[in-house]
Amino acid sequence: MLPMTEKLLADVKIRHDWSVEDIAALYRLPLLELVGRANAVHRHYHDPNHVQKASLLSIKTGGCPENCAYCPQSAHHREVDLTRDMLMDPRKVLDMATTAKAAGAERFCMGAAWRQVRDGKEFDAVIEMVEGVRELGMEACVTLGMLKPHQAERLAKAGLTAYNHNLDTSPDFYSRIITTRTYQDRLETLSTVRAAGIELCCGGIIGMGEGVNDRAAMLQVLAGFAPHPESVPINALVPVEGTPLAKRPRIDPLELVRMVATARLVMPQSTVRLSAGRSSLTREAQILCLMAGANSIFYGDTLLTTPNAGIGEDAELLTAIGAVEETVETALAS
């Protein structure tokens, strides 16, 4: 544990009363100061040499009735070149989870392109997947859209570790990205998940045309949860041809570093996940994000439907920073 300087004492305090202005001021700090402060907080609460490896699988792809402007899986974006697939067989999913574990993944995340969970055979199959992943000794996370209390309770009984349901952006900017689901809908789903005793995996996307204050406002909402979300994915937009945001320029990597560092400062105990957009970062930019407080990466060639860094590249990255585990080396050597 680091010596307690006055500045660090202030930074490591768990708070739920952040203002948008306070968070935006952190975001705009000189970069080296921002990263330095975030790294000190990160080292206080986390092992700086541990980077959790999570694997993400699309278990049902395409045909989603939501109109999220960034998402190639939306049925509204007819020009997207994407094959629509039905829900995967649980046996196939568990085979892939077994492979992911052998490659070093500690968490297995499953995403279905649904607006909301519906009771029936498909939800029963998801429950089987969750139970199977937990039996493998891995953390299990799903993203299935909105859900009702009894469905959250079933997931909790199956052993689900976390439920992913991102805010995406700020309350004010939200309607420019999505109109088929309200911000309040998202907050209610998160409340339902928390009431069932399931961990929250909740973050957002930057690079969609929002401003710094929007980014700060999203973090303010997240930091206002008590407790904070256990997991906070920070995504950079991956523009996909055929979506309304296809022509958006890729974000400056240092903006992603700033977002990671600010998230770490306002939610010191959360796992901050370096998520979509990582494949376009240099190794050095990724390391800077890890120094700024990210302590999890998605591990595998694809994030639902967008490219991700390859396992071999990630093994090299983790080796370079001294965070690689024996399981990864063994899997790559086999």
Catalytic residue among 37, 154, 201, 289: 201
Q: How far apart are CA 271 and CA 52, in angstroms?
A: 9
Q: Looking at 71, 154, 202, 264, which residue is catalytic?
A: 71
Pick the catalytic residue: 37, 107, 109, 181?
Answer: 109
- Closest of 233, 296, 264, 320 to residue 104, by C-alpha: 296
The number of angstroms, rounded, from the C-alpha of 221 to the middle of its chain's C-alpha atoms is 16
d(CA 301, CA 308): 5
Catalytic residue among 141, 154, 215, 278: 141
Annotated catalytic residue, options 37, 64, 107, 154: 64
Q: 68, 154, 186, 202: which one is catalytic?
A: 68
Please indicate whether residue 64 is annotated as part of the active site.
yes
| DSSP character string of 288-326 | HHHHTT--EEE-SSEETTEE---HHHHHHHHHHHT---H
- End-to-end Cα spacing for the chain: 38
Give yes or no: 289 in active site: no
Q: How many residues does the chain have?
A: 334
* Among 52, 85, 8, CA closest to 270: 52
Q: Is 109 a catalytic residue?
A: yes
d(CA 5, CA 37): 11
- Give CA–CA dist 25/31, Å, rounded: 12
R_g over Cα of the chain: 19
DSSP 160-216: --EEE---BS-TTTGGGT-SSS-HHHHHHHHHHHHHTTPEEE--EEE-SS--HHHHH
Query: Which among 107, 264, 273, 278 is annotated as catalytic?
Result: 273
Buried b (16+ CB within 10 A) or exposed e, 230-267: bbbbbbbbbbbeebbbeebeebebeebbbbbbbbbbbb
201 is an active site residue: yes
Q: Say if residues 292 and 259 touch (Cβ distance below 8 Å).
A: no
- Residues taking part in catalysis: 64, 68, 71, 109, 141, 201, 273
